């Protein structure tokens, strides 16, 4: 399948969210990536239900909700009710992960698992067939604009093997430090969905940047576009 692009609103202008949402609506991006942080699982606090419920009224694309909170099972149904298309919880944050995944699905959303950079892919062996997506963190979660961790490429290849061997249909999403220099290699390694925060929202031409991310590694892609 062609890869998907999910701009992360964490790097948007919170005083002008409607403007940035409108830009993503008009762009070639596929999903909105929403980062929910509780100040406990990660050393940062972002936003919660009131903001998502409002955002949902303006967004014209699915909401990809990334929960960086402890015991996410307490809230998954509320995130689905608030408008999430996909809810992803961290492997490290949910003790009864199988139950949490089915709580998300029963609530009517797609369900994903997120792996921190230190968490090995093989830990998903017995749950890979139950999930719609696995997100590999390519930075330590908590902040936008961090440096991409190169070990991610190895994890993508291992995850792809696990998915293919098990007959799972899970997508592979990459979150953190995705930019115009690494996007093509990530796709080539097997990534299906690329989150991009800083790369999109700090760009002088976010629509063009999304276009370049979207066409990277495809036949539409022109090297000179990336280079200059």
With vertex at residue 37, the alpha carbon angle to CA 36 and CA 38, rounded to the nearest 5 degrees, is 130
Determine, following the binding rule CB under 6 A, whether residue 7 of this chain makes contact with ligand DX5.
Answer: no
Of residues 159 and 201, the one with the C-beta less far from ligand DX5: 201
* 179 catalytic residue (yes or no): no
Largest CA distance in the chain: 48
Determine, following the binding rule CB under 5 A, whether residue 175 of this chain makes contact with Zn ion.
Answer: yes
Determine, following the binding rule CB under 6 A, whether residue 10 of this chain makes contact with ligand DX5.
Answer: yes
Q: How big is the site for ligand DX5, counted in residues (CB under 6 A)?
A: 22
Q: How far apart are CA 163 and CA 217, in angstroms?
A: 22
Determine, following the binding rule CB under 6 A, whether residue 203 of this chain makes contact with ligand DX5.
Answer: no
| Residue 49: Cβ within 10 Å count | 14
Determine, following the binding rule CB under 5 A, whether residue 3 of this chain makes contact with Zn ion.
Answer: no
Q: How big is the site for Zn ion, counted in residues (CB under 5 A)?
A: 3
Per DSSP bridges, beta strands 86-90 and 193-196 are unpaired
Sign of the alpha-carbon dihedral angle for 218, 158, 147, 70 = positive
Cβ–Cβ under 8 Å, residues 184 and 198 = no
| Residue 142 CB, nearest approach to ligand DX5 (Å) | 5
Out of 8, 59, 168, 189, the only residue in the binding site for ligand DX5 (CB under 6 A) is: 8
Task: Select which of 20, 35, 132, 192 is catalytic.
Answer: 35
> What are residue 4's DSSP bridge partners?
193
Of residues 11 and 27, the one with the C-beta less far from ligand DX5: 11
Determine, following the binding rule CB under 6 A, whether residue 116 of this chain makes contact with ligand DX5.
Answer: no
SS3 (DSSP) at 106: helix
Out of 3, 4, 5, 11, the only residue in the binding site for ligand DX5 (CB under 6 A) is: 11
86-90: strand order across its sheet: 4-7, 193-196, 171-175, 133-137, 110-115, 86-90, 63-68, 32-37
Determine, following the binding rule CB under 6 A, whether residue 30 of this chain makes contact with ligand DX5.
Answer: no
Which residues belong to the active site?
A: 35, 175
Which residues contact Zn ion (rule: CB under 5 A)? 35, 66, 175
């Amino acid at each position: 399948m062609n890869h998907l692009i999910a701009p992360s609103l964490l790097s948007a202008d919170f005083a002008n969210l409607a403007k940035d949402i409108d830009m993503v609506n008009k762009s070639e991006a596929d999903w909105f990536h929403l980062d929910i942080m509780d100040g406990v699982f990660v050393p940062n606090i972002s936003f919660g239900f009131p903001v998502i419920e409002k955002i949902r009224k303006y967004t014209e694309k699915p909401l990809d909700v990334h929960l960086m909170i402890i015991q996410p099972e307490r809230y998954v149904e509320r995130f689905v009710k608030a408008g999430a298309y996909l809810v992803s919880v961290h492997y490290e944050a949910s003790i009864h992960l199988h139950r949490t995944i089915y709580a998300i699905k029963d609530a009517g959303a797609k369900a994903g698992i997120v792996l921190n950079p230190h968490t090995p892919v093989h830990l998903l062996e017995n749950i890979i067939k139950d999930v719609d997506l696995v997100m590999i963190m390519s930075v330590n979660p908590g902040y936008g604009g961090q440096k991409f961790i190169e070990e991610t490429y190895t994890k993508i290849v291992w995850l792809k093997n696990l998915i293919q061997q098990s007959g799972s249909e899970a997508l592979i999403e990459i979150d953190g430090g995705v930019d115009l220099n690494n996007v093509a290699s990530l796709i080539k390694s097997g990534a299906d969905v690329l989150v991009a925060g800083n790369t999109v929202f700090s760009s002088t031409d976010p629509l063009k940047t999304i276009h370049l991310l979207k066409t990277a590694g495809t036949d539409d892609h022109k090297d000179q576009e990336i280079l200059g």
